[in-house]
Amino acid sequence: MSAVTETIRIDAATPVQGCLTKMAIAPGAMGEAVRYTLRVGEQRLDLNARLGRPLALEWTGAIACTHCGRATKKSFAQGYCYPCFRKLAQCDTCIMKPELCHYFEGTCREPEWGERHCFQPHVVYLANASGLKVGITRRTQVPTRWLDQGAVQALPILEVDTRQQSGFVEVLFKEEVSDRTNWRAMLKGDTEPMDLVAERDRLLARLEGGLANLRERFGTEAIRTLDEAPVAFDYPVLEFPTKVVSHNLDKHPEVAGTLLGLKGQYLILDSGVINLRKFTGYEVGVS
């Protein structure tokens, strides 16, 4: 098995086989639903066009590391073999908890990777996927990060110079608001709209002292307040599940049903839901 590459787009009726990568998601045009593309090896399938039709995935039992391409019996951190999981900076603890960045201690696993990915502008945002949450992402990952989480609304509130700084800001905000998405609630589709601008103003006022301390530490211009409009997303879903049942390829290598919707990195089938990002690197047949 080789690493995933970008090439061939396939017809919806064509059976294919290859290693999964997280679905490509793009905002729809004005008034249109978010667009989803299934990535299987080198092949691409328009999932919006597949709505209301049967879809089946069968795991062959093989897994390939999404970084080096080597075969692995188990996937670590959603798509890596164990050696890559242990050596890559993108698999280090500080990716999930940026405030633990140890670059300046001289112990970064890959300093050049860190300089490219962590020392660039990051956005602190509010989102509504299953209720109000705070999150962080690289500026270049807007709006991809929100779509991956299944957010129906999102609002950038602060921009910072580095990933570590975004981690410190997020820790501060977590005193007032969660950084988690309830994925089951997100998939039920009954999330109530929120006034994110009002929530932003409320939180900035309550956390004014903590933000002042961070600005004193990193510089006044290192943490910038944004004045952007909230955005909203409409996901392609024919029917939301009333009870969320999750498929797991490790336990049942065959998943099949009628495709009823797409939200976050989930396929919503009449037989249950499956988080495809969890199975990055799994070699599957799709029909």
At residue 256, the 3 state secondary structure works out as strand
Q: Are residues 97 and 147 in the same domain?
A: no
Q: Are residues 54 and 101 in the same domain?
A: no
Instruction: Choose one of 232, 247, 268: the last residue of a domain.
Output: 232
Q: Are residues 173 and 271 in the same domain?
A: no
Q: Are residues 93 and 149 in the same domain?
A: no
Instruction: Choose one of 119, 138, 171: the last residue of a domain.
Output: 119
User: Are 186 and 264 a contacting pair, CB within 8 Å?
Assistant: yes
In-domain check, residue 1: no
Q: Are residues 169 and 249 in the same domain?
A: no
In-domain check, residue 254: yes
How many domains does one find in the chain? 3
Place of tokens 């999930």: 96
Q: Are residues 178 and 222 in the same domain?
A: yes
Q: Are residues 241 and 166 in the same domain?
A: no
Both tokens of residue 266?
A: 């989930």
The reply to whether omega before 193 is within 30° of 0 (cis) is no
Instruction: Choose one of 193, 210, 232: the last residue of a domain.
Output: 232
User: Are 264 and 183 a contacting pair, CB within 8 Å?
Assistant: yes
Give the domain extent around 133: 121-232
In-domain check, residue 3: no
Written in H, E and C, the secondary structure of 144-195 is: HHHHHCCCCEEEEEEEECCHHHHHHHHHHHCCCCCCCCCHHHHHHCCCCCCC
In-domain check, residue 2: no
Q: Are residues 213 and 131 in the same domain?
A: yes
Both tokens of residue 217?
A: 């530490």
What residues pair up with 39 in beta bridges, in sequence order? 21, 44
Q: Are residues 248 and 195 in the same domain?
A: no
At residue 22, the 3 state secondary structure works out as strand
pLDDT at 7: 44
Q: Are residues 260 and 210 in the same domain?
A: no
- Cα–Cα distances (Å) from 209 to 131, 160, 169, 227, in that order, read 25, 17, 12, 20
pLDDT at 53: 98
Q: Are residues 114 and 131 in the same domain?
A: no
Q: Are residues 113 and 125 in the same domain?
A: no
Q: What are the pLDDT tens digits along the chain (287 aa)?
A: 434 444 455 555 567 999 999 999 999 888 899 999 999 999 999 999 999 999 999 999 999 999 999 999 999 999 999 999 999 999 999 999 999 999 999 999 999 999 999 999 999 999 999 999 999 999 999 999 999 999 999 999 999 999 999 999 999 999 999 999 999 999 999 999 999 999 999 999 999 999 999 999 999 999 999 999 999 999 999 999 999 999 999 999 999 999 999 999 999 999 999 999 999 999 999 99
Rounded Cα gap, residues 114 and 3, in angstroms: 22
In-domain check, residue 177: yes
pLDDT at 9: 56
pLDDT at 15: 75
In-domain check, residue 48: yes
The span from the first CA to the last CA of the chain, in angstroms, equals: 20
